[in-house]
């Protein structure tokens, strides 16, 4: 009886381990897809290297920081007063329609209509520190 429940417990934790590992692989794949999407849609205006300003502010370390916090970058008043903190959730919403979420900003990007691509972009942004 006892060995049987122990076995079941073992089987369950092995199964969990497999699920966990495949989730990590999935996030890795998504980040790679996100990087492709970033190179295509964002890299004209954004670098992911801290301090490297293009038309837009650098996005290194963007996940977790308040909007408009790269020192010296000339943000719009709208971005400065948005009160947004960039979390995976706010980024996802922002990328769906930047000017819809924060009217008056100066990022001329209409938005990414594909939710999968938005999620992949966010996975990628998590990896740029
Ligand atoms: C045509 C140029 C352009 C493109 C393309 C563009 N951006 Fe931007 N982005 C900007 C500018 C300019 C700002 C600053 C907006 C402001 O201050 O109003 C900005 C701001 C941002 C911010 C807020 C940064 C901060 O420090 O608060 C994020 C996040 C962002 N962009 C992500 C992206 C992503 C991801 C893409 C691609 C899907 C993208 N942008 C495409 C020009 C662009």
Residue 113 · residue 95 · CB < 8 Å: no
Instruction: Dump pLDDT digits (tens) for 15-53.
Output: 555 556 666 667 789 999 999 999 999 999 999 999 999
Mutate to test the pocket of ligand 1, among 54, 107, 128 (most ligand atoms within 8 A of CB): 107
78: Cα within 13 Å, side-chain hemisphere: 10
Cα–Cα distance, 73 to 88 (Å, whole number) = 22
19 Cβ contact list (under 8 Å, min separation 6): none
In the predicted model, is pLDDT for residue 14 greater than 70? Answer: no
Dist. CA 56 → ligand 1 center (Å):
5
> How big is the CA angle at 51 (ends 65 and 27), to the nearest 5 degrees?
50
Atom of ligand 1 nearest to the CA of 112: 38
Best residue for ligand 1 mutational test, from 39, 43, 45, 92 (most atoms within 8 Å of Cβ): 45
Q: What is the pLDDT of residues 58-109, one digit of tens each?
A: 999 999 999 999 999 999 999 999 999 999 999 999 999 999 999 999 999 9
């Amino acid at each position: 009886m006892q060995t049987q429940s122990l076995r079941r417990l073992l089987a369950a934790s092995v199964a969990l381990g497999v699920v966990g590992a495949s989730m990590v692989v999935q996030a890795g794949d998504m980040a790679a897809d996100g990087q492709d999407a970033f190179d295509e849609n964002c890299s004209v205006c954004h670098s992911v290297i801290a301090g490297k300003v293009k038309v837009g502010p650098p996005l290194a370390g963007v996940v977790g920081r308040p909007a408009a916090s790269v020192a010296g970058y000339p943000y719009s008043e709208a971005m400065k007063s948005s009160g947004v903190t960039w979390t995976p959730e706010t980024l996802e919403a922002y990328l769906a329609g930047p000017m819809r979420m924060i009217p008056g900003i100066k990022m001329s990007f209409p938005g990414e209509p594909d939710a999968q691509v938005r999620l992949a972009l966010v996975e990628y942004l998590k990896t740029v520190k």
